[in-house]
Copies of this chain bind each other. A is one copy, B any other.
């Protein structure tokens, strides 16, 4: 649903045609989520079907211009004011993989964790490299001047924070698994002290 609302929000700025919407979207999210052009057109037809936007004929260059409707404006407003719900978070492939790895036999969980950890670290370095590049486009100032640059920079930060959390979680998993293995081998019958003080 994010692409649909993003296009609507862009249309609220001014009427636009399909390709233009793609360019505007990618200016704000950079190379993070390259938006396939086809999806723009299918989304636009759905928006028109649902009465949130309407095709307004062609402009001087012959582009099919879409304009947001009042219902569309309402939709955008509620989108911005309603927080994204974490009650039904999207499936996290890594979490599912780890959950399966610890429950099925014959999988070396430690190796899975370590390989994922180095991959995530590599991604993290890519992000910091991208941040440096983004900063170098506007030569002297360290801060992006254009709002679109600021948006792309914030998106990058989001990726960084997510990757850092992933690494922390992987380390946390490793620690818990190691502790569980020790307890299982040490005190299999007695109610061992469940004292939990992880090293933060």
Contacts and interface: CB of A to CB of B under 8 A. Distances in A.
Interface of A: 1-3, 5-6, 9-10, 12-13, 28-29, 32-33, 79-87, 89-107, 111-112, 115-116, 118-120, 123, 126, 140, 142-148, 150-155, 157-159, 161-166, 168-169, 172-173, 176, 179-180, 183-184, 188-191, 195-196, 198
A198 B145 CA distance: 11
Contact of A84 (B116, B145, B147, B168): B116
Indicate how many identical chains form the complex.
2
Contacts of A84: 93-94, 97, 116, 119
A100 B154 contact: no
Interface of A is mostly: helix
A91 B29 CA distance: 10
A181 B12 CA distance: 23
A112 B78 CA distance: 11
Contacts of A118: 83
Nearest to A93: B2
A157 B103 CA distance: 16
A169 to B, nearest CB: 4
Contacts of A152: 99
Contact of A154 (B107, B176, B195): B176
Contact of A165 (B6, B28, B97, B164): B164
Given A9-B100, A29-B99, A164-B165, A119 B158 contact: no
17 contacts: A2-B92, A2-B93, A29-B99, A83-B115, A83-B120, A84-B94, A85-B119, A87-B123, A94-B158, A96-B155, A144-B180, A144-B188, A145-B195, A145-B196, A150-B176, A157-B173, A157-B176
A174 to B, nearest CB: 11
